[in-house]
Amino acid sequence: MTGGTSGVAVVTGASSGIGAATARRLVAEGFEVVAAARRRDRLDALSAETGARAVTLDVTSPDSVAALAAQVPEATVLVNNAGMALGMDPVAEADPDEWRAMYEVNVVGALRVTQALLPALVRSGAGHVVVMGSTAGRIVYEGGAGYAAAKHGAAVLAETLRLELNGQPVRVTEIAPGMVATDEFSLTRFRGDAQRAAKVYEGVAEPLTADDIADCVAWCVTRPAHVDVDLLVVKPLAQAAQHKVDRRS
């Protein structure tokens, strides 16, 4: 571990997918991990498996975020992983409520948690904020305007925070994955339609896994404290761009 690890790492959206994988990996790296999410039963199972501390968290609730901060007086790393995508409708037919929901979780939720834990991160003397973005936060695609808008917002949050924290002992990293096959992301996007969810990865030999992204998080947060990885874009070999994916039967 090049940079060494110590202290408390808070991971939001830790009940499944990338969040759960990141919590597991950071425990293995030597962090005291606080795994935060809405579904307490899943958090408790993760806690029993890894030793991570489970904290119930809804990033859309100011009271819930304040309760998290009260339970985590010390923190070195914050991984703003809580996020979601809803729908694939074109702009002309998009549901504004879905857009609001995506923005509330992906952007405002990350803002709330960052604001709440930032004093502790600064006090640590070697804080690190990780924002889980997406290639959709860099390149748009048909049917993805609402999600892309939210992830562009998350990218702007990370970039602006880095400017505003210049001179403070807190690094800011955005990790922007491409196609990651997890159990729930596409199912949530398509409101539980398993057939539509499966088509997202149809013919793609090896999409990224949650463990791949957890590996990226671990690498970024274990660099020496003076090394800030601003942006890490990671895609499967089969995905050259949002619109260019090698699909084989």
From 219, 189, 184, 204, select the one nearest 87 (Cα to Cα). Answer: 189
CA distance 245 to 187: 20
From 147, 137, 154, select the one nearest 89 (Cα to Cα). Answer: 147
Give, as one character, the DSSP assignment of residue 139: S
CA distance 240 to 139: 12
CB contact set of 36 (below 8 Å; sequence gap of 6+)? 10, 11, 12, 13, 14, 43, 54, 55, 56, 57, 68
From 103, 141, 147, 201, the catalytic residue: 147
Residue 141 annotated in active site: no
- Indicate which residues carry an active-site annotation: 147
